[in-house]
Amino acid sequence: METTNSLYEKVGGEQAISKVVDYFYKLVLADDTVNEFFKNTDMEKQRRHQTKFISFALGGPNQYSGKSMAKAHEGMNLQPAHFNAIVKHLHDSLAHFGVSEPEIEQALSHVAELKDDILYK
């Protein structure tokens, strides 16, 4: 019987996801739509958290111990344009590292589930 690898395994595990996250933040910090939200952020810490969070979201081990999504975005009043910019940068980052479109869509569906915990907080 053939076992199905998780999306986490398909993209190459935490090491590959770490590279995706680095590229993702390069795009995010160059985007005036969303970079203001990171001006006072410890980006090393942010990258570590994001790598663990995305790893978990893609079916990897749950090593994420940060704040809840609602707590992490409290007081930011993020709007759909901000959320959509972040989703686009994640899409482009995954594509940059050769993740197939169906797998990207699967990953982004996990992100979409968090939209209500992120917007308008």
- The total domain count for the chain is 1
**What pLDDT does 3 receive?**
53
In a domain, 29, yes or no: yes
| 89 in a labelled binding site | no
What was the pLDDT predicted at 75?
Answer: 94
Residue 110 is assigned to a structural domain of this protein: yes
In a domain, 1, yes or no: no
The whole-angstrom separation of Cα 106 and Cα 100 is: 10
User: What's the distance, Cα to Cα, between the start and end of the chain in Å?
Assistant: 46
Answer whether residue 3 is part of any domain. Answer: no
pLDDT tens over the chain, length 121 residues: 445 688 899 889 999 999 999 999 999 999 999 999 999 999 999 999 899 888 887 888 877 777 888 998 999 999 999 999 999 999 999 999 999 999 899 889 988 999 999 999 9
Q: What is the CATH number of the domain that holds 88?
A: 1.10.490.10
Domain of residue 112: give its range: 11-118
Residues belonging to the chain: 121
Q: Is 96 annotated as a binding residue?
A: no
pLDDT at 59: 86
In a domain? residue 6: no
pTM: predicted TM-score of the whole model, two decimal places: 0.90
